[in-house]
Amino acid sequence: MVTIGIIGAGIMGERMLRAAQEQASDFVQVTGIWDPSAEALSRIGALAPHAHSVPALIAAAQCVYVASPPASHLEYARASLEAGKAVFCEKPLAVDMSTARAFVEAVGGGRVAVNFPMASSPAVAKLADWLSTGVVGTQLRLEIEVGFADWPRSWQRDAAGWLDRRAQGGFTREVVSHFLFLTRRLCGAMVLQAGRARFDSPDTSERAIAAQLTAGGLPATLTGGVGTTLKDDHNTWTLWGDRGAIRLRDWSIAERLVDGVWVPDQAAMPNERMRSLVLRRQLEGVERMTLGDTHHLATVQEAFEVQTVVEGVLEGWVRE
């Protein structure tokens, strides 16, 4: 039984807490949760013990899950590592690249991982299986498209205070980063060629992005925008080859292009149903990481590469 302390009682903190209790209680135990907001802790109620302070939470756990807003991620991660604890951290690592780079260089291959759930997705595993069997033939290009009715999404509006601010928020950091992680895992190292973002006010987060990059030498395009769909969010990650194409749609639906028609994998399920399976497997990786074993979770190096592309797009970077 591995013990976990949670910093941050927002959406992700509560989601991981419930996953630990409902899907993974046979191998992990939450020893406490802390948040500076009494209101947030009140919402959690009696689901987990409320830690009186960050040091107390860290002392009581073998692993600390950092689910606070991005600007505080590395403060809590460093404190936990200095106390000899493992760390499972939300993305992005930090709000500026120099701080993130210094952290990655300092921790190396230590007991720290980043919460990119696609590392544990059955749909992503199916995409990898299709690629390994050569169903697309020679890979030609990759297309990533994301769209949102509004930002933040309806279930995130309580976090708009930081999630819709330019300093820490925006859909590129919050959502696109997941598809860049998927790109890094399945296609290889990424190089941003050009990117741009549209901001409608100086303080709020972006409302549209477009970018060109390569992944393992494969050309890729990225587009995203707010107000482009009636859904909370809609996304596709599509890999084209000279013999066919595969894609991930709406987070969890793996599909193949067959005779011009997109055909879902037989085991495909909506994200709402798949989430519990993914979270259990993420926590299995947390258990292994905490015990010092090999694991499949996203490394800090992968997270840093993703963040490099994300921040480049938001800065409007062009490769010379």
Q: What percent of the chain has pLDDT over 70?
A: 100
* pLDDT band for position 317 (cuts 50, 70, 90): confident
Nearest CA to 156 among 138, 169, 145?
169
Q: Classify 115 as helix, strand or coil.
A: coil
Cα separations (Å) of 206 from 1, 289, 300? 42, 35, 25
* 35-49: pLDDT as tens digits: 999 999 999 999 999
* Residue 276 confidence (pLDDT): 95
Distance separating alpha carbons of residues 97 and 243, to the nearest angstrom: 39
What residue spans in the chain does CATH classification 3.30.360.10 cover?
119-271+303-315
pTM (predicted TM-score): 0.96
What residue spans in the chain does CATH classification 3.40.50.720 cover?
2-115+280-298
Rounded to an integer, the average pLDDT of 235-250 is 98
* Residue 86 confidence (pLDDT): 98
The helix (run of H) or strand (run of E) holding residue 199 is none
Distance separating alpha carbons of residues 103 and 35, to the nearest angstrom: 23
Distance separating alpha carbons of residues 144 and 235, to the nearest angstrom: 8
Q: Which residue has the higher pLDDT, 109 or 249?
A: 249
Q: Which fold has domain 119-271+303-315?
A: Dihydrodipicolinate Reductase; domain 2 (3.30.360)
Query: What mean pLDDT value characterizes the chain?
Result: 96
* 67-107: pLDDT as tens digits: 999 999 999 999 999 999 999 999 999 988 999 999 999 99
Concatenated DSSP letters of 171-198? HIIIIIHHHHHHHHHHH--EEEEEEEEE
Rounded to an integer, the average pLDDT of 308-312 is 97
* pLDDT band for position 279 (cuts 50, 70, 90): very high
- Using DSSP bridges, classify how beta strands 208-215 and 190-198 pair: parallel, antiparallel or unpaired: antiparallel
Range 2-115+280-298 has CATH code 3.40.50.410? no
* 133-168: pLDDT as tens digits: 999 999 999 999 999 999 999 999 989 999 999 999
* Residue 320 confidence (pLDDT): 57
Can you read off the two tokens belonging to residue 10?
């927002």
